[in-house]
Structures are given as structure tokens and as C-alpha cells.
Structure 1
Amino acid sequence: MEGVSPEPLRSELDSKSKQDTAKEEDDDTFKESTDAEVTKIRLMRAFVESRDPSSKEVDDLMIRRFLRARSLDVEKASAMFLKYLKWKRSFVPNGYISPSEIAEDIAQDKVFTQGLDKKGRPIVVAFAAKHFQSKNGADGFKRYVVFVLEKLCSRMPPGQEKFLAIADIKGWAYANSDLRGYLNALSILQIVFVENKKLKSTLLEEIEESQLPDIYGGQMPLVPIQNS
């Protein structure tokens, strides 16, 4: 009796598993969406797929994220989404940022990840005093920001669309000044400044002590973003 290679069967099972996973994700998206959102997700998907076939690879969570960012306005969300796809193809042609592309920024050890806050959002800590302008210029720092965001997104629980960022400016000096870099970061992150004397109590409003960075009186050690 001839032996049967398991590869075709494994491939078929893997394909079915991926399809089932995608279906489960879509089902979860619709469970957590309002009727209006479900309708507009379908409308937007039909529109963007007709304009850019690569959008077929994007799940409904991503579509919903853009819709919510534009108050469920399909036209505005679609324009924003198509612009994003075009930008990603040109700026991240390989689909991801390799650590070798941003070695200088990684070596500065300026961004760290933690656990999750009380709302299930990943926590990231950035130290302004450890940031120095990259020799690769603004584009180099943008790639680092994209790298950080990809790492954070990979840690987001299903259905979560946000993360919590702590920007620590202690020790910041003129040598750390990088206006263009900061503007790039500020265009993405919402930063709230807190007085030192209120720091721990303010952070504990959003973060359990077990998830709070130990440098702020919590229990969790900092983890460099590249190691997360």
C-alpha cells in the first residue's frame, strides 16, 4: 500500500482553520458592532474593494476602526483608508519594519511595553530623555514609530482598538530636542501631562498596580519594545 503524504491534508486543514478563524473574527466584530456599524462596514468594504483589491485582505475590525475614526461617515472613512493603504505600500513595502532598519532608535532603549490597563488596552512607556535625533532623519523615526505601533497592535486583545501611552519627560534636555520627530509622534499619540506628586494615583485610575511599571510604584518591570 502506498504511503499518503500528510502535506495536502495539512494544507487543507490549515486553510480551513484560517477560514474558520477569519469567520470567528468577523462574527465577533458584528457582535460588538451596532446595526448601523454593520451596515456601514459592508458598504465601505464594497466601495474600497472596488477601488483597491488589496483591501480584501483587511478584516472587518480594521474597516470598523476607520469608520469610527470618521464618525461612521463611509465616504470620509473610505478616503482615509485608501490613503492609508497607499501610504503603507510605499512606506512599508515588505509589510513590516525590520529591526535592522531602525537599529539606531532601538539601541536607545526609549520605548517599553507593559501589561494591560483596566480597560484591556496595552500599555507603552516612552522616555523623552532617551530620544536623540536619528541619522536617518524624520523617515527613520517614522519607521520606528510604525514598528512600535505594530508591536502594540500585536498585543491587543480581540476587539480592542486603543492603547495607553505614558510619555515620561523626566531628564529631557536640549540634546533630546527633535521637533519633527515629536510632531510625528504627537500626530499619533494623545499625551496627558501629570504632576509628579499625583503620578502614581493618576496612573492607578487606569492601570492595576500589578500592571503598572515598577518605576512608577507598580509591580511590573519594563520590557523593551523590541523584546515584547
Structure 2
Amino acid sequence: MCEGREREREKSIMDFNIMESSAESKEELTRNRLVRALIERKDPSSKEVDDPTIRRFLHARNFDISQASAMLLKYLKWRRTFVPNGFISASEVPNQIAQDKMFLQGSDKKGRPIAVVFGNRHFQDDLKEFKRYVVYGLDKTCARIPPEQEKFIAIGDLEGWGYSNSDIRGYLGALSILQDCYPERLGKLFIVHAPLVFMTVWKIVYPFIDNKTKKKIVFVENKMLKSTLLEEIDESQLPEIYGGQLPLVPV
């Protein structure tokens, strides 16, 4: 009798969870439709925007329909102006590519692509070209995200970073593009080999990072580097320089 009541209780809990999940899905679908109606009314070209994109912008604005719509419309306007051809070509960012500072290969245990960026290879230069390079790299990374995922993870390697790499304008520009134009794309950012001198710049940049992004940033101690990365990434997918098996491949 007790076992029968326990099974009935477990079934009731499961049924409730399914109903709750279904209700949340309906609510999310309703919000998606409202955002779509708003943006299509103001920008007919937004008809090409898919539902996952709308959902990401809703998540970024805590499901506030008005704020998500405004953010998405601003993004669409920016995209038409900044990326008029629909993509950034390598010929538009030759100096940035020559620095070999971004690498892309492998996936974490959830299937999210892994990007590796070396901070000591970035120098303050042409801000416009650097911003184009950020878009170039993000588009390349997002293109590798499998259908069942929406995010990527990144490793920011600061070994050898010094004041010559301290590009506040560039960092803030990259942060703005990531947060405003690629919301809910970053799954996690591991910052490794961070020197003490970097913390001066970090204190300047930190207030500009939104709360959602802050929760995704992890500073990794050198002695815990491999073990921390292996929690998210199989050794077969981890770059060789961190104790894994994959060679680095530049973007």
C-alpha cells in the first residue's frame, strides 16, 4: 500500500512538472510572438529573424517584451550598417588576423564550440578594424554552434600580458558587441594565467559587464588549470597547451 501511494505521489510530481514546463513554454511562445509583432511593425526586414534569436534577446532582457524588442531593433540596425555584406571577410581584418590571437577548435562536453584568445598578442591599433575582427571571430564561432546548442565557451589566456596589451577602448568595444549584439551566446569564459598587473585594467572594465555575463566569467588558478577545464571539456577536445590532445588552429 505504501509503495502504491509513493508511486502515485511521484507520478503527481512528474505531472505537475510537465504542466509547469508546458505553461512556461506557452508563456515564452506568447512573448516571442509579441516581440516579433513589435519588431516587424517597425522594421519589415526583421521577418528574417528566427525564433531562437528572439528568445536570446528576451533572455538578455529578463523577458521584458519592450526592452527585448528595442534591443533587437537596435541590433538589426547596427548589423546593416556595420556588416553591410552580411559577413566580415578576412580582407577587412588583415592586421588582426596576422597577430594569430584567436583560435577555434574542439567542443566541450555539451557540444559547445571552444574559442581560445591570447591577450598578449593583442595591441592597441585601429579600433574599427579590431571591432570588425571581433564580429569576424564571433560569427565564425557561432557558425560552429550545433542546432541543439546556442552558446560557445571561451578561454582567455593572459600569460605574458602586459601594459602594451592594455587596450581599454578595444576591450570595452568588444564587450559591447558581445553583450548587445550576441546576447546569450557566451556560455562560459575561463580566464587563465592572469597576471597581477591585469587586475588594474579589470577594475576599469568590470563595471561595464552586465550581471548575466559576470556570472559566466571564471578566473582559474594555475594549479587548478587542467582539472578545472576538464570539468567542462574532455581531454580529447582540450588544447594541447592545457594538457589536452588538440593542436591550436587559428581562426
Q: TM-score, normalised by structure 1?
A: 0.80
What is the identity, as a one-letter code, of the residue corresponding to 2:240? D
Structure 1 residue matching 2:220: 3-state secondary structure? coil
What is the CA-CA distance between 1:167 and the residue it aligns to?
0.3
Deviations 1:26-46 (A, max 9, x none): xxxxx9x82211111111111
1:110 corresponds, among 77, 98, 101, to: 101
What is the CA-CA distance between 1:161 and the residue it aligns to?
1.9
What residue ranges of structure 1 are gaps of 5+ in the alignment?
A: 1-30
1:148 matched to 2:137? The reply is: yes
What's the counterpart of residue 54 of structure 2? 63
What's the counterpart of residue 177 of structure 1? 166
What is the identity, as a one-letter code, of the residue corresponding to 1:206? E
2:79 corresponds, among 88, 96, 100, to: 88
What's the counterpart of residue 167 of structure 1? 156
What's the counterpart of residue 200 of structure 1? 226
What is the CA-CA distance between 1:76 and the residue it aligns to?
0.8
Structure 1 residue matching 2:104: 3-state secondary structure? strand
1:210 matched to 2:225? The reply is: no
Identity %: 66
Task: Provide closer, same or farther for how the CA distance between residues 192 and 184 of structure 1 changes in structure 2, counting only shifts above 3 A.
Answer: farther
Structure 2 residue matching 1:193: 3-state secondary structure? strand
What residue ranges of structure 2 are gaps of 5+ in the alignment?
A: 1-21, 179-185, 190-216
Task: Provide closer, same or farther for how the CA distance between residues 169 and 201 of structure 1 changes in structure 2, counting only shifts above 3 A.
Answer: same
What is the CA-CA distance between 1:147 and the residue it aligns to?
0.4
What is the identity, as a one-letter code, of the residue corresponding to 1:221? P
Q: How many residues align?
A: 192
Determine the C-alpha separation between the residues in 1 that align with 2:97 and 2:62: 36
Determine the C-alpha separation between the residues in 2 that align with 1:35 and 1:117: 31
Determine the C-alpha separation between the residues in 2 that align with 1:69 and 1:183: 18
Deviations 1:103-132 (A, max 9, x none): 000000000012111122111000011112
Determine the C-alpha separation between the residues in 2 that align with 1:158 and 1:71: 23
Report if the CA contact (8 A) 1:61-1:159 is conserved.
no
Determine the C-alpha separation between the residues in 1 that align with 2:221 and 2:35: 43
What's the counterpart of residue 221 of structure 1? 247
What is the identity, as a one-letter code, of the residue corresponding to 2:66? E
Determine the C-alpha separation between the residues in 1 that align with 2:233 and 2:32: 32
Determine the C-alpha separation between the residues in 1 that align with 2:221 and 2:174: 21
Determine the C-alpha separation between the residues in 1 that align with 2:50 and 2:110: 23
What's the counterpart of residue 14 of structure 2? none
Task: Provide closer, same or farther for how the CA distance between residues 194 and 186 of structure 1 changes in structure 2, counting only shifts above 3 A.
Answer: farther
Determine the C-alpha separation between the residues in 2 that align with 1:123 and 1:94: 26
CA root-mean-square deviation: 1.6
What's the counterpart of residue 131 of structure 1? 122
What is the CA-CA distance between 1:158 and the residue it aligns to?
0.7
What is the identity, as a one-letter code, of the residue corresponding to 1:103? P
Determine the C-alpha separation between the residues in 2 that align with 1:44 and 1:139: 31
Structure 2 residue matching 1:192: 3-state secondary structure? strand
